């Protein structure tokens, strides 16, 4: 499922990003997932319904955003790691002044800042009408030759092994893709 997000456009209040990097997380089957130990007040939105944002603080500093993609009751989500700004440059550069173009939404914390997402957006729908959020599938799937996959960034221990969980997907050679950093034990 996560691979299909590559090339999709995420629209939030006048800003549009083309997604260039994502990671998959699969609840009780995935020690790297926030939902691994079951539902908590923090992770409730990850258990469905699909098509909603799971927005959380990372290390008490940055907001990160996932799109819930499992059936209701099943914890599965796709972390939005990086994107290219394709509309709303003025808004993004006002939020992120003096930042190089490639770095505007390069990494999950930068992506949420570029879009103006915060914890107040946790649970918001990105499907259907009537919201300031919309996720649009790419007009054509990204060719397999342009897609790379590997271990998730910063995930260590069980579930961090790229051979067992090569659940990070990115567009090869795209300048907005974040650098890989292995997890620390």
pLDDT digits (tens, 9 = 90+) for 32-65: 888 888 888 888 999 989 999 999 998 888 999 9
Given this model, what pLDDT does residue 148 score?
96
pLDDT category of residue 5 using cuts at 50, 70 and 90: very high
Mean pLDDT score of the chain: 90
- Least confident range from 23-27, 120-124, 160-164: namely 160-164
Higher pLDDT, residue 128 or 85: 85
Alpha-carbon gap, residue 73 to 157, rounded angstroms: 26
CB 125 within 8 A of CB 131: yes
Domains present along the chain, CATH in parentheses: 2-136+148-171 (3.10.300.10)
pLDDT of residue 159: 55
- What integer pLDDT is reported at residue 153 of this predicted model? 83
Cβ pair 116, 91 in contact under 8 A: yes
Residue 168 has pLDDT above 60, yes or no: yes
State what percent of residues in the chain have pLDDT above 70: 92
Query: 77: closest CA among 57, 95, 51, 101?
Result: 51
Within the chain, residue ranges assigned H as helices are 89-95, 108-115
Rounded to whole angstroms, the Cα distance separating 160 from 32 reads 7
Closest CA to 50 of 7, 96, 1: 1
- pLDDT (0 to 100) of residue 160: 56
Mean pLDDT of 5-30: 92
In this prediction the pTM is 0.92
Element (H, E) at 95: helix 89-95
């Amino acid at each position: 499922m996560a691979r299909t997000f590559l090339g999709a456009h995420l629209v939030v209040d006048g800003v549009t990003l083309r997604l260039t990097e994502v990671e998959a997380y699969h609840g009780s089957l995935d020690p790297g997932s926030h939902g691994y130990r079951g539902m908590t007040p923090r992770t409730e939105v990850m258990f469905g319904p699909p098509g909603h944002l799971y927005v959380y603080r990372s290390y008490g500093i940055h907001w990160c955003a996932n799109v819930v993609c499992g059936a209701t009751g099943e914890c599965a989500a796709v972390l939005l790691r990086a994107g290219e700004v394709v509309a709303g440059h003025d808004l993004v550069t006002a939020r992120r002044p003096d930042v190089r173009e490639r770095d505007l939404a390069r990494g999950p914390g930068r992506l949420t800042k570029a879009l103006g997402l915060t914890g107040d957006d946790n649970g918001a729908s990105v499907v259907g009408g009537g919201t300031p959020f919309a996720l649009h599938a790419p007009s054509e799937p990204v060719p397999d030759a342009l897609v790379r996959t590997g271990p998730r960034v910063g995930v260590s221990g069980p579930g961090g092994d790229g051979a067992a969980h090569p659940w990070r997907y990115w567009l090869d050679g795209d300048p907005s893709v974040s650098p890989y950093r292995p997890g620390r034990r």
